[in-house]
Structure 1
């Protein structure tokens, strides 16, 4: 076997060094890495929350997956990160089977994709009509945007079950009770995200929106309890090894097989090959 094919990272690194890797390249790569990291990590936590699990699981996934992709991707210009398209797939799994079911399904999907890659089945994606791809992604965008109205507006509704129209009806009925501070912070962040690219500035708009939304929430909190916006630290709790706390766990996660993680009833999911 050609070692250049078995170690794509090594070959990409060798090619880069042969072309010359200057100090300016180092500075540019560090700047790009820091920028992507600052944007991708909050995004990963947000998508974990949207998928029905605690934010730290998105954080762990982004770090581990990012490192693996960088070492095995074979390109020095790879950019990897979480994708929102899977939220509509992962959320029902997490609701029905818990974290253990979600991680087990993810591991199974990874194995299937690995075998599909080895079998060179990726070429069949060329047979999918372009309108199908556009319709699929557009539908996902609409569903995700709708589901985020609950937190965007601070609506006092519980878990959203049922079909899309049932969920939309529940959300619309709760709009008169929206939380003004949540809506203001969300609208400000969204407005910056939309308007920033039109300014033609090189500074990443995602980072500006993140900082502006955070500062605005801190300022609003000074107006009183009614203007306090929930944060990851105040909304989420963790329990590990008999310890518990608010926000994100301050230590590294312990290794466990996916099926040993809690299911919908809080007990380990277990693994069974029975039908």
Structure 2
């Protein structure tokens, strides 16, 4: 029943007019997806038809089963370096197995409701590896753009650059001219004819010119990869062993994580364009199922495609039906026009991928983060350089580790422990650190403001700040913890050490303790050890309690007068008067 309600929600207010809009947007996106699907497959080191198969199968399944109303799924540029590396290292069959395993991981992430965790990946990390991937894609298309011969593709960026430099003398002017025609067409078609997809027009125009004026002078899809079949591949379950699973679990995890990040980012973009809200966990489940089924038909890993999703929305999509139609359109074109696609020059595909790389580079955000010259800039640069010169797995791992270390440092810097006393000139007698001086400091009561999260990164600093200050062993230790939002077990351990050490000769009281720290103290037993009567809501109540437990003999003759009661306790006749309520 719940599923029906959700299903109804995705198709709420659906009508014949909505179907018409879905058909139009589905056709437009389907036409755009064909050259992109082939280009992404070729750049990933596999035959172009595998990109088409992915566009059809994954595109339909992601739309039907995902959590976004407007999501368009298929092969994307972000996967290119990862998939190419897997093909180079393990081969195509193992790529299909890794894709299937990634689908399982995505499915489990959705089942265990981990969709919301993706938002915790820092922006400098995502921008860093996205920009790095864009550089790899762009550089990888230079040989096809220039028509270089003798170039051997490698897994690593620098090796590929050396190949380009070493074979720069083999430039094919026909390929260069073909690529230039396609590039200009792709760039200017949207300006002249906004409703016509530029990549498709660029492919058609450049292919026709190459076929009629200088046939056999440029490398084509057919001459490089063979004829594109005009039918879907047969269903096939790949053979794999436990050893292969162990070997491919790392690449599968990277595919799954990148697929999750990109699909959810795409869904967020769609939400912003349409004022809707996607279901992140359902989206991961849909992505998982699509990536489990697609490899069984020879398809490569897929995810949500931000540019195609945006195009889908701009062309009036009303429901997931547009994504289904987009897959059907690609299937029809495959069956009817596959032989003609084999004549497309590789030089025509190169500028399309270069533009994709340029658009996904996030150059404006990259430069903005770089100009801030903060720790985030360091995370950005490290992630970017590791992506380009090593691999995405290492880049994300070290980028996240560096971001976590910086975050811990920032949080630990927020932990401030200062000794304070009431300011008698303040109407509420607010406690302030500047009131503590050598001549104005109670020898028997030490009050500390504790501010910031008390966690493993700040716990030692907290302990040292207090223990170094109270070496003279006062009678009462009052900790004002109203500004401690969070405490972990390490922080609790340090607090426990202070409390148990101090309790041997004095009294520990706490004021303003928030709910989360209080729960932790109860679970560990420290709350019971301190005693419920030693916890106060307000500082004034805690000070009144502390003064009642002073050694009055030590107060006689004291000239510090740290509290209003001190005049009477030191030998004068004044006694405890109004009860105070200090700011917690």
TM range (shorter): 0.7 to 0.9
The 1:133/1:75 distance shift into structure 2, 3 A limit, reads closer
Task: Report the Cα offset of residue 156 of structure 1.
Answer: 0.8
Structure 1 equivalent of residue 228 of structure 2: 248
Task: Report the Cα offset of residue 122 of structure 1.
Answer: 2.2
Distance in 2, matches of 1:230 and 1:211, equals 16
The 1:216/1:41 distance shift into structure 2, 3 A limit, reads same
CA contact (8 A) 2:151 2:163 kept: no
Structure 2, unpaired ranges of 5+: 247-584
CA contact (8 A) 2:88 2:155 kept: no
Structure 2 equivalent of residue 62 of structure 1: 55
Task: Report the Cα offset of residue 114 of structure 1.
Answer: 1.0
Structure 2 equivalent of residue 217 of structure 1: 210
The 1:213/1:54 distance shift into structure 2, 3 A limit, reads same
Task: Report the Cα offset of residue 181 of structure 1.
Answer: 1.4
Q: Secondary structure at the match of 1:44?
A: helix
Structure 2 equivalent of residue 111 of structure 1: 104
Distance in 1, matches of 2:21 and 2:229, equals 32
CA contact (8 A) 1:181 1:220 kept: no
Structure 1 equivalent of residue 164 of structure 2: 171
Structure 2 equivalent of residue 143 of structure 1: 136
Task: Report the Cα offset of residue 60 of structure 1.
Answer: 1.1
- Provide Cα deviations, 1:138-195, integer angstroms capped at 9, x if missing partner: 1100001111112221111243226322210210221221111111111221222233
Q: Structure 2 length normalisation: TM-score?
A: 0.39
Distance in 2, matches of 1:163 and 1:203, equals 37
The 1:4/1:200 distance shift into structure 2, 3 A limit, reads same
Larger RCO, structures 1/2 (Cα 8 Å, 6+ apart): 2
Query: Are 1:80 and 2:60 matched, yes or no?
Result: no
The 1:252/1:162 distance shift into structure 2, 3 A limit, reads closer
Query: Are 1:30 and 2:23 matched, yes or no?
Result: yes
CA contact (8 A) 2:185 2:202 kept: yes
Distance in 2, matches of 1:202 and 1:159, equals 39
Cα-Cα RMSD: 2.3
Task: Report the Cα offset of residue 89 of structure 1.
Answer: 0.3
CA contact (8 A) 2:181 2:206 kept: yes
Distance in 2, matches of 1:86 and 1:172, equals 25
Number of residue pairs matched by the alignment: 245
The 1:157/1:191 distance shift into structure 2, 3 A limit, reads same
Structure 2 equivalent of residue 120 of structure 1: 113
The 1:31/1:211 distance shift into structure 2, 3 A limit, reads farther
CA contact (8 A) 1:40 1:82 kept: no
Distance in 2, matches of 1:2 and 1:250, equals 41
Distance in 2, matches of 1:90 and 1:234, equals 23
- Provide Cα deviations, 1:88-126, integer angstroms capped at 9, x if missing partner: 000011112111110000011111111112222222222
Structure 1, unpaired ranges of 5+: 238-246, 260-269
Distance in 2, matches of 1:145 and 1:129, equals 25
Q: Secondary structure at the match of 1:258?
A: coil
- Provide Cα deviations, 1:55-80, integer angstroms capped at 9, x if missing partner: 12111111101111122135543323
- Provide Cα deviations, 1:206-253, integer angstroms capped at 9, x if missing partner: 22222222222223325xx4xx2222223223xxxxxxxxx1224431
Task: Report the Cα offset of residue 200 of structure 1.
Answer: 6.7
Query: Are 1:271 and 2:234 matched, yes or no?
Result: no
Q: Secondary structure at the match of 1:46?
A: helix
Query: Are 1:183 and 2:176 matched, yes or no?
Result: yes
Structure 1 equivalent of residue 224 of structure 2: 235
